[in-house]
Structure 1
Amino acid sequence: MNHKTVAVTTFAAVALVVTALAAAITFGGPAPIAPLASINAPFAKADFSGVPAPRSFTARDGTAMAWLHYPAAGNAQNARRVVLVHGSSARARSMHVLARALAGAGFEVAALDMRGHGDSGPRGQAAYVGQLEDDVEDFARAVPHAGPSTLLGFSSGGGFVLRFAGGTRQDLFDRYVLLSPYLRYDAPTARPDNGGWVSIGLPRLVGLHLLNKAGVGVWNNLPVLNFGLNDTARPMLTPSYSFTLATSFGPHNDYAGDIRGARGAMHIVAGRDDELFRADRFADVFTAAGKTVPVTLVPGVNHMGLTLDSAAFDAVIQACRT
């Protein structure tokens, strides 16, 4: 084979790869998804009376970030603070029922609107991967607390808490609580079709991941996830995530590395009837990654029940204490 033939063959191969990537990114986005009743319906019955007025702090990029404050019962001095991270598409208000229970149990509670959600920046977007970790650090600096602190996350928020727990800023909290944490779409804990909650634009997701490895991030604002929200929830929540937000709000792709890197105390709580994740596999996944973590499975509780069903609250409160 002469040099000209080699050059032509190489050019053709490169052109094919570029064409495949372009097609994946252009046409491989997430499909529409039907509302998932088990996620949407429970909120219609929940008691959202007494939601506190939103407060704000300023992140390092100048964005006003929203959060809710729930003082500890009796205004206990130096009570342990629990910082709540909501689940995918949600906002701080979605954690109100659990936040109220934690405050009643003597914890100082702060529920965050994570960037890209609620009133914290453009919904569905983040400027760069890792920005949400910066935001949590900025909150800890802007709203200091004299007592010990727990970072607690639910679902995708639980995956993000794992990311933070295994990162370089993990010493900002001495305890981490993960409520039915999202690990990865292909983790042993995942159910087929993501339990019907999320539509993944996998071709676009993979294509953008490859481009980012090559240092190209110009299309990172494109959506890669759609969530099964109903028409009532859609205007209040976040229907889709860009590549940047989807990559930031959860553990790293090497979630086992996050598990191994976490030095602080950690506890997992999940409902036995969780319809999104295989709750009975959390313990084995963490053990296989090299960290034995206490796992509490609450009978008769599904995914959303962890934050809305009083049957789960004793387990969550105990996880925050031990």
Structure 2
Amino acid sequence: MSAGLLFAVGLVSLALVALVAALWFGGPGPAPAMASINDPFKGSDWSGMPPLSRYPARDGVQLAYRYYGAEDKGAEDNKVRGSVVLVHGSSASSQSMHKMASAFSQAGYDAYALDIRGHGASGSKGTIAYIGQLEDELDDFIKVVAPSKPATLVGFSSGGGFVLRFAGSSRQTLFDNYLLLSPYLGPTAPNYRPNSGGWVRVGIPRLIALSILNSVHISVLNHLTVLNFALNEEATSLLTPSYSFNLASNFQPERNYQQNMRNVLGPCAVIAGANDEAFQTDQLEPELRRLGIRWPVTILPGIGHIPLTLEQGAIAAAVQAVHELAQ
């Protein structure tokens, strides 16, 4: 065997060893509990929260959501104003969107708060079968439940990133309008904070190794954990403490989030808090304008990340944004 061939074989062997080591040892470390994410939910009033309903996904699994029927229809013909479908943030479930869903119901909308697969009562926590499954199942939800028109898809944080992913896809016409609440855009976006301000720990070596494998269509190891969340002990037992590669890759925008934005053809708006500790929200509007996108952007003074879904003023801003999108 020639020296050149030996050298090449050696390099390949080293690369394989490094890849295996990254997969085996390169997972995420523990994330110390982040008080600003965990504490705002303490003492929340969950009274009036409807029970879980179910719809069948295309693989036969029954996925969960909560339905809040329109209360104040407010129109002469007594018809609902439309519908709002709410997508929670990372680690969370439909329960976290209870206050916002209730407000939309009171404003005359049929509201639906989803348990995205891998969360809450939908499937196995922390994982999904393939990248793209979440879009398929939102499609299934629309076809089975048939929310009233005009329909607005609202997403918070990572859920906002996923809503952007859907809004920029070929299925975007399934909804009439889109609202992004402090959306996660990815690690290359200008609103990104390292580790989302302390909310996540990323197994970067494993993430890179799995990305390399997926680039050559090898996805058999996509169930491996790549993200841990900064939950306290109580929340860890209730929520989703970690994500597999599949779920982490799907519950966010496409890697080229800018192209996602450019692909959105319908009405879309953005709301975030000025005191958001997870993302640099002051960078959202400049990024959109740099891309030539004129979506309305509202930055709410004094509002942090989780309070965006809990504080009455922030919720009222979201309801008003949906009113305006539907006009």
- TM-score grouping bracket, smaller chain normalisation: over 0.9
Aligned to 2:9: 11
Shift of 1:192: 2.9
**Which of 278, 281, 288 is the matching residue for 1:286?**
288
Could you list the per-position Cα deviations for residues 23-66 of structure 1 after superposition, in whole angstroms to 9, with x for gaps in the alignment?
11111111101111011111112211111011000000111100
Distance 1:44 1:134 in 2: 34
Aligned residue runs from structure 1 range 1-322, under 5 A:
4-74=2-72, 76-322=78-324
Amino acid at match of 1:270: A
CA distance in 1, matches of 2:56, 2:291: 36
Q: Is the 8 Å Cα contact of residues 257 and 289 (structure 1) preserved in structure 2?
A: no
Distance in 1 between residues matched to 2:72 and 2:291, nearest whole Å: 41
Q: Does structure 2 retain, via aligned residues, the 8 Å contact 1:259–1:290?
A: no
The percentage of aligned residue pairs carrying the same residue is 47
Which sections of structure 1, spanning at least 5 residues, go unmatched?
Answer: none
Q: Write the deviation string for residues 262-309 of structure 1: whole angstroms up to 9, x where unpaired.
A: 111110000111010011100122223342221101111100011111
Which secondary structure state, in structure 1, belongs to the residue aligned with residue 254 of structure 2? coil
* Offset of residue 78 of structure 1: 4.2
Cα pair 1:46 1:97 within 8 Å, conserved: no
C-alpha distance after superposition, 1:128-153 (max 9, x if no partner): 00000001000000001342100000
Report the Cα distance in structure 2 between the residues aligned to 1:74 and 1:101, rounded to whole angstroms: 10
Q: Measure the CA separation in 1 of the matches of 2:291 and 2:239.
A: 34
Contact kept, 8 Å, 2:110 with 2:148, in 1: the verdict is: no
Contact 1:24 / 1:203 at 8 angstroms: preserved in 2?
Answer: yes
Once the two structures are overlaid, the 10-residue window that deviates more, 218-227 or 312-321, is: 312-321
Q: Structure 1 CA distance, aligned partners of 2:194 and 2:133?
A: 30
Counterpart CA distance in 2 for 1:290 and 1:138 is 33
Gaps of 5+ in 2: none
Q: From the superposition, tell whether residues 146 and 99 of structure 1 become closer, same or farther in structure 2 (CA, over 3 Å).
A: closer
What is the TM-score of this pair, normalised by structure 1?
Answer: 0.97
Separation in 1, partners of 2:103, 2:151: 17
Per-residue Cα deviation, 1:106-126 (whole angstroms, up to 9, x for no partner)? 111000000000010000010
Alpha-carbon deviations, 1:80-108, whole Å to 9, x = none? Answer: 10000000000001100111111111111
Larger mean Cα displacement after TM superposition, 179-188 or 151-160:
179-188
Deviations 1:209-253 (A, max 9, x none): 010001111110000000011111111110000000000001011
